[in-house]
């Protein structure tokens, strides 16, 4: 990327700071003011970012958002409030700041009237910063970067310094911003330590930004969002102290003005010859990699066959991968999206016992149920398979033999519970008993449903065999382990490469690094079961492979069931492609040239280490040219209201229940993606679903599309009229292109939640455009006014067409409905980098009708009651609290929970010493992250790990973790 700017351009400060925060190297090129930077424009307002040849971004704030999104710094962009402040800076603050700066540094005189114009703006900033410390939260965001960048040159002016002298919150914020290395570097780069005089030439050469469009400048101020309260002081007609809400409830909020060159660039792309526009690629099976194209292999974590997926499972894996795969098809990438049910393992055997059937019958029953659920949710797999196949056995055993022959398989003895009554060793889920951590008396041998902690079967108190209810006893048994320490160098080398070139969410990196940081340990890959892929090694043939060795290989075997040419996807990773022949390399630059096939894993955070450590280690160790993960997109947990999803308690909506609620699948899809837990756990809330449906879908998106198409149908017989672009229209196109750029960038980075907000921003712009032009008034006027009305609604219909395409990954049925109402040809289904005319004059639309229905509070009340469920199981009795138990390590867990080196795992002084050392190490790691000002999500994850280690240490010492934990000094009040 190349940044064109002129010497002393203060807008460059925010851009360079954002690049530093994002960790992106930008090639800064100083040019003269009249330089011909953009080929199709006579001159350009600087700075201008050239994303790739021919693609330019003109707005400094858009560049800031783009860089942060591209650098996977979505945490700095999260929340509607950030966008409101960015808009406030460009439409309210800059139109006051720039004229004042010109008067001070250009003419050497501070005009008092201009200085006084800052009063309501600064007053609002002061009030906001007093309550938060930063503009959108308690941490730095894109809003702080943009506003500080605009304010920095003002800080060199003594009268302005006097204006903020008593505004202590602003002064504290300024000090905090100036202490950040990214800000310091950007300021030094632009000013060269020459003071305020450095800004003069640039200020005098650049046009002064203007406020809201005259057509909407007299509109009333809208109510701000709940986090940005409006001022008591009345702003002038062109300046508001308060950032405006970005919802459709405020259609009269004026649109931001864009530079003339950006508007002209939008006009150029809008007017492109239809023959030059991209057309969709038809999907034909079997899909195979294509030379010189971007080939993407998308996997979604395989759901356990015996579980009915709840809404949290659905958004964490299959739905997120579905959205990304639909987006990739619309970008004309060549992709294969596979998934299937994970059918082997203890859970299937225990479920079969519960229902009195065979494991095969369980798998058939639940595979069908999963298929039906995903079909109802419109999950569009290229192939949905299962792991109980001949190909699974052949491929898993082949990978095992290759690891064995290369010395990556260990044999070791461990202590495991044995049932004399059944005469067999018991896998974890065949053991039940009292939880050693919380005292719950019906815990499983792998996890406690009461406290949610992972446990070791051998550490259960009062253990009993699930099959015969007799008490098992510990015995020594032989098992196989993959030698992860020996594979660690290969894994690290691979991770270093894909971290630099791929998309890895912060939680995926954090969890992976936490496993590697202290050194990997051998991991058991065998189980004493009958239902599974048989271990082929002599002496171990009575065992099967452990699910987390076997299950990820299911991605390969499922592909092999899809096509006999599966090796083209899985054993052909090193053929380079030519990016010049790839239509849509644009938004990802040249970072995807290493492999013919790129693999994306979509999964929940609990599955990360098995996909980022164990599976790639096995593929690398097999040394058979396998495609190894290059991108990992992991979610946090989605909870249900103020509790967790629980089938046993009837708490929350499960996949087989959703269709009976009367709420369409697209509404569930939209809401789950709107609250997708990307950087922290989120919750499904019925009240919030009602709010989002009735405001964002019904009043914003649906309102814009329906009134545009209804007006066109009722007044122009549904025929698209000639579109003659006026200034407002050009502004609209440019603003849409900004949102489109961010939509694509967010999608490419796996930030699916943010892209849906870009869609809603475009429909908000459309509502504002319609409200400002009032075609219902124009159509009753003169012939010229009626002609203008036709142009306005025809442009709006084209925006609706764009929205139908952008919405397709999220709400495929709604997208199809919109396109039917538009009578849009299938050729529109391509996501391009810019908006162009998709429905030309003379095109006749279909019959419009409302897209969404209002959800009533009475309906929500019924659903809340229906899915409230029973209370969670009781916690431990007081007599059990504080009793010590063995800690559960992240690494080398054996079938019965025993560590390779820890034997039976009984508590002793050595264990206490080990945990004490772990707590010290983790404490140091947290302090280092805080010192380095790491992402909040990263710090929070490491702090959570530290607290967990402290709890384990307290238990090991025989203490009550709650009593041993330090008090925060504050108590939260009860919710009213």
- DSSP string over 283-338: P-SSP---TTS-EEEEEEPPPBTTSPPBHHHHHHTHHHHHHHHHHHHHTT-EEEEE
- pLDDT recorded at residue 236: 37
Q: What percent of the chain has pLDDT over 90?
A: 55
Nearest to 39 by CA among 16, 55, 23: 55
Q: Which is more confident, 915 or 243? A: 915
Query: Is the model's pLDDT at 634 over the cut of 50?
Result: yes
* pTM summary value: 0.76
Question: What is the average pLDDT across 258-281?
Answer: 89
Torsion, Cα 232 233 239 241, to 10 degrees, reads: -50
pLDDT of residue 652: 95
Average pLDDT for 646-667 = 93
Q: If you count DSSP H runs as helices and E runs as strands, how many of each does the chain have, helices first?
A: 37, 20
Please determine, for residue 222, whether its predicted confidence score (pLDDT) is greater than 70: no
Q: Could you tell me the pLDDT band of residue 463, with boundaries at 50, 70 and 90? A: very high
| Confidence bin at 932 (pLDDT 50/70/90) | low
Identify the pLDDT of residue 446: 80
Q: Which range is least confidently modeled, 304-318, 374-388, 591-605, 798-812?
A: 591-605
Instruction: Kindly tell me the sign of the dihedral angle through the C-alpha atoms of 807, 813, 815, 816.
Output: positive
pLDDT at 78: 67
Whether the predicted pLDDT of 359 surpasses 70 = yes
Q: What is the DSSP string of 77-138?
A: T-SHHHHHHHHHIIIIIHHHHHHHHIIIIITS---HHHHHTHHHHHHHHHHHHHHHSSSSSS
**pLDDT (0 to 100) of residue 157:** 87
Are β-strands 334-341 and 295-300 bridged in parallel, bridged antiparallel, or unpaired? parallel
Q: What is the average pLDDT across 304-309?
A: 90
Instruction: List the single range of 28-32, 202-206, 397-401 with lowest mean pLDDT.
Output: 202-206
For residue 604, list its beta bridge partners: 635
Read off the DSSP letter of residue 611.
I
Distance CA 496, CA 850 (A): 51
Residue 909: is its pLDDT beyond 70?
A: no
Minimum mean pLDDT range among 122-131, 467-476, 671-680, 934-943: 934-943
For residue 349, which of 340, 357, 337 has the smallest C-alpha distance?
Answer: 357
Mean local confidence (pLDDT), 198-208 = 79
Rounded to 5 degrees, φ, ψ at 313 are -60, -40
- The pLDDT of 943-957, averaged and rounded, is 72
Q: Tell me how many degrees the CA angle 804-742-727 measures, rounded to the nearest 5.
A: 75
pLDDT for the residue numbered 571: 94
- The pLDDT of residue 42 is 62
Is residue 7 predicted with pLDDT exceeding 70? yes
Beta bridge mates, 433: 443
pLDDT at 196: 80
- Band of pLDDT at residue 213, cut at 50, 70 and 90: very low
Residue 422 has pLDDT above 50, yes or no: yes
483 or 92: which carries more pLDDT confidence? 483
Per the CB < 8 A criterion, the answer to whether 557 and 387 are in contact is: yes
Q: Which of 203-212, 301-310, 548-557, 667-676 has the lowest mean pLDDT?
A: 203-212
According to the model, what pLDDT value does residue 958 have? 57
pLDDT at 876: 47
Q: Which of 279, 300, 315 minimizes the C-alpha distance to 810?
A: 315
Residue 777 or 157, more confident: 777
Q: How many CB atoms lie within 10 A of CB 866?
A: 13
H runs (alpha helix) in 749-782: 752-773, 775-778
Among the ranges given (40-44, 682-686, 772-776), the one the predictor scored with the smallest mean pLDDT: 40-44
Q: Decide: residue 969, CB within 10 A, 0-12 exposed, 13-18 middle, 19+ buried.
A: exposed
Close Cβ partners of 345 (under 8 Å, ≥ 6 residues apart): 304, 527, 529, 531, 532, 547, 550, 551
Contacts of 398 (CB under 8 A, 6+ apart): none
d(CA 76, CA 327): 24
- Nearest-angstrom CA–CA distance, 272 and 632: 37
Q: Which residue has the higher pLDDT, 272 or 854?
A: 854
| Dihedral pair phi/psi, residue 953, rounded to 5° | -65, -40
Strands 523-524, 473-482: pairing kind:
antiparallel
Which residues, in sequence order, are bridge partners of residue 646?
Answer: 651
Mean pLDDT of 225-231: 33
| Three-point CA angle 67, 71, 74, nearest 5° | 90
In which element (H, E) is residue 950 found?
A: helix 936-956
Q: Are 242 and 231 in contact (CB under 8 A)?
A: yes
Q: Residue range 713-724: average pLDDT?
A: 98
Determine the pLDDT at residue 949. Answer: 77
The answer to whether the CB of 716 falls within 8 A of the CB of 793 is yes
What does the alpha-carbon distance between residue 432 and residue 467 come to, in Å, rounded to a whole number? 10
Give 334-347 pLDDT, tens digit per residue.
999 999 999 998 88
Residue 298 in this model has a pLDDT that exceeds 90:
yes
Q: Each residue of 952-968: pLDDT tens digit?
A: 776 666 555 554 454 44
Q: Of 210, 202, 467, 201, which is closest to residue 349 (Cα–Cα)?
A: 467
Of residues 206 and 274, more confidence is placed in 274
Q: How many CA atoms lie within 13 A of 593 on its CB side?
A: 11
Can you read off the two tokens belonging to residue 31? 């040019």
Which residue from 867, 861, 808 is spatially nearest to 660, judged by alpha carbons? 867
Asked if residue 813 lies in contact with residue 666, where contact means CB atoms within 8 angstroms, the answer is yes
Task: Report pLDDT digits (tens) over 149-192.
Answer: 999 998 988 889 888 998 999 989 999 999 999 999 999 999 88
Q: What pLDDT shows up at residue 498?
A: 94
d(CA 493, CA 474): 40
Percent above pLDDT 70 for the chain: 83
The pLDDT of residue 564 = 97
Q: What token pair was written down for 74?
A: 């979505």
- pLDDT tops 90 at residue 686: yes
Check whether the bond before 307 is cis (ω within 30° of 0). Answer: no
Cis before 654? omega within 30: no
Torsion of CA 495, 500, 504, 508, to 10 degrees: 40
Lowest pLDDT segment from 160-174, 628-642, 745-759:
160-174
């Amino acid at each position: 990327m190349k940044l064109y700017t002129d010497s002393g351009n203060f807008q460059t400060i925010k851009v360079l700071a954002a690049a530093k925060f994002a960790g992106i190297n930008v090639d800064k090129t100083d040019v003269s003011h009249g330089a011909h930077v953009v080929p199709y424009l006579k001159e350009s307002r600087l700075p201008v970012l050239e994303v790739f040849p021919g693609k330019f971004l003109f707005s400094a704030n858009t560049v800031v958002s783009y860089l942060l999104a591209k650098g996977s710094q979505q945490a700095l962009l999260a929340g509607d409030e950030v966008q409101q402040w960015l808009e406030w800076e460009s439409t309210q603050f800059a139109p006051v700041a720039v004229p004042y700066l010109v008067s001070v540094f250009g003419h050497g005189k501070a005009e008092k009237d201009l200085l006084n114009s800052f009063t309501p703006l600064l007053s609002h900033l002061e009030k906001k910063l007093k309550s938060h410390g930063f503009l959108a939260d308690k941490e730095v965001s894109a809003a702080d970067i943009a506003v500080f960048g605009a304010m920095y040159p003002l800080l060199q002016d003594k009268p302005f310094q006097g204006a903020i002298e008593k505004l202590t919150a602003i002064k504290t914020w300024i000090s905090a911003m100036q202490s950040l290395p990214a800000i310091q570097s950007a300021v030094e780069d632009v000013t060269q330590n020459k003071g305020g005089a450095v800004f003069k030439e640039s200020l005098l050469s650049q046009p002064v930004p203007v406020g809201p469009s005259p057509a909407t400048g007299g509109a009333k101020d809208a109510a701000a969002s709940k986090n940005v309260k409006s001022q008591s002081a009345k702003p002038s007609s062109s300046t508001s102290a308060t950032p405006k809400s970005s919802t459709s409830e405020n259609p009269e909020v004026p649109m931001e003005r864009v530079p003339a060159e950006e508007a002209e660039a939008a006009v150029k792309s809008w007017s492109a010859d239809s023959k030059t526009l991209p057309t969709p690629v038809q999907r034909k099976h079997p899909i195979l990699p294509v030379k010189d194209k971007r080939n993407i292999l998308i996997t979604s974590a395989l759901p356990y066959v015996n579980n009915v997926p709840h809404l949290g499972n659905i958004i964490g894996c299959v739905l997120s991968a579905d959205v990304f795969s639909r987006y990739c098809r619309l970008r004309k990438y060549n992709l294969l999206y596979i998934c299937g049910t994970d059918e082997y393992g203890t859970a299937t055997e225990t479920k079969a016992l519960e229902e009195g059937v065979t494991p095969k019958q369980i798998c058939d029953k639940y595979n069908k149920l999963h298929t039906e659920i995903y079909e109802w949710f419109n999950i569009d797999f290229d192939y949905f398979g299962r792991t109980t196949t001949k190909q699974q056995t052949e491929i898993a055993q082949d990978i095992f033999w290759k690891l064995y022959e290369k010395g990556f398989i260990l044999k070791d003895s461990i202590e495991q519970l044995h049932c004399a009554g059944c005469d067999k060793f018991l896998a974890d889920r065949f053991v039940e008993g009292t939880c050693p951590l919380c005292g719950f008396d019906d815990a499983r041998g792998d996890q406690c449903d009461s406290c949610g902690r992972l446990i070791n079967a051998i550490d259960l108190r009062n253990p009993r065999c699930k099959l015969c209810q007799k008490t098992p006893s510990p015995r020594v048994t032989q098992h196989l382990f993959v030698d992860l320490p020996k594979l660690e160098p290969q894994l690290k080398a691979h991770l270093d490469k894909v971290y630099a070139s791929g998309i890895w969410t912060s939680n995926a990196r954090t969890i992976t690094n936490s496993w590697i940081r202290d050194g990997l340990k051998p991991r058991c890959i065998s189980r004493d079961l009958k239902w599974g892929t048989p271990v082929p090694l002599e002496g171990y043939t009575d065992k099967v492979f452990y699910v987390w060795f076997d299950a990820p290989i299911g991605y390969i075997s499922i592909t092999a069931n899809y096509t006999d040419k599966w090796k083209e996807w899985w054993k052909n990773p090193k053929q380079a492609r030519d990016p010049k022949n790839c239509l849509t390399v644009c938004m990802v630059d040249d970072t995807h040239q290493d492999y013919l096939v790129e693999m994306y894993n979509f999964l929940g955070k609990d599955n990360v280490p098995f996909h980022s450590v164990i599976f790639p280690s096995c593929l690398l160790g097999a040394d058979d040219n396998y495609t190894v993960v290059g991108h990992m997109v992991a979610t946090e947990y989605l909870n249900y209201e103020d509790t967790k999803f629980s089938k046993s308690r009837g708490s929350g909506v499960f996949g087989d229940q959703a269709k009976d609620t009367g709420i369409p699948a697209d509404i569930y899809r939209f809401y789950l993606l709107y609250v997708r837990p990307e950087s922290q756990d989120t919750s499904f809330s019925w009240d919030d679903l009602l709010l989002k449906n009735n405001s964002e879908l019904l009043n914003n998106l649906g309102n814009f599309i329906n009134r545009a198409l209804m007006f066109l149908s009722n007044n122009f017989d549904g025929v698209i009229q000639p579109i003659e672009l006026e200034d407002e229209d050009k502004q609209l196109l440019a603003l849409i292109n900004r949102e489109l750029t961010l939509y694509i960038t967010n999608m490419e980075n796996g930030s699916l939640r943010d892209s849906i907000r870009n869609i809603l921003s475009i429909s908000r712009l459309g509502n504002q455009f319609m409200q400002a032009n009032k075609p219902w008034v124009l159509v009753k006027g003169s012939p010229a006014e009626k002609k203008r009305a036709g142009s306005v609604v025809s442009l709006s219909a084209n925006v609706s067409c764009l929205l139908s395409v952008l919405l397709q990954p999220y709400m495929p049925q709604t997208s199809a409905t919109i396109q039917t109402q538009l009578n849009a040809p299938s050729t529109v289904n391509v996501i391009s980098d810019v908006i162009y005319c998709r429905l030309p004059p003379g095109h006749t639309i279909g019959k419009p009708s409302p897209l969404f229905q209002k959800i009533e509070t009475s309906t929500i009340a019924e659903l809340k009651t229906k899915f409230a469920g029973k209370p969670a199981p009781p916690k431990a009795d007081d007599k059990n609290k504080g009793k010590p138990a063995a800690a559960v390590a992240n690494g080398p867990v054996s079938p019965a929970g025993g560590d390779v080196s820890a034997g039976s795992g009984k508590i002793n002084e050595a264990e206490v010493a080990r945990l004490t050392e772990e707590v010290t190490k983790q404490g140091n790691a947290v302090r280092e992250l805080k010192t380095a000002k790491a992402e909040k999500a990263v710090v929070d994850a490491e702090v959570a790990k530290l607290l967990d280690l402290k709890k384990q240490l307290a238990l090991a010492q025989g203490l009550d973790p709650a009593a041993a934990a330090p008090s925060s000094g504050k108590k939260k009040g009860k919710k009213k």
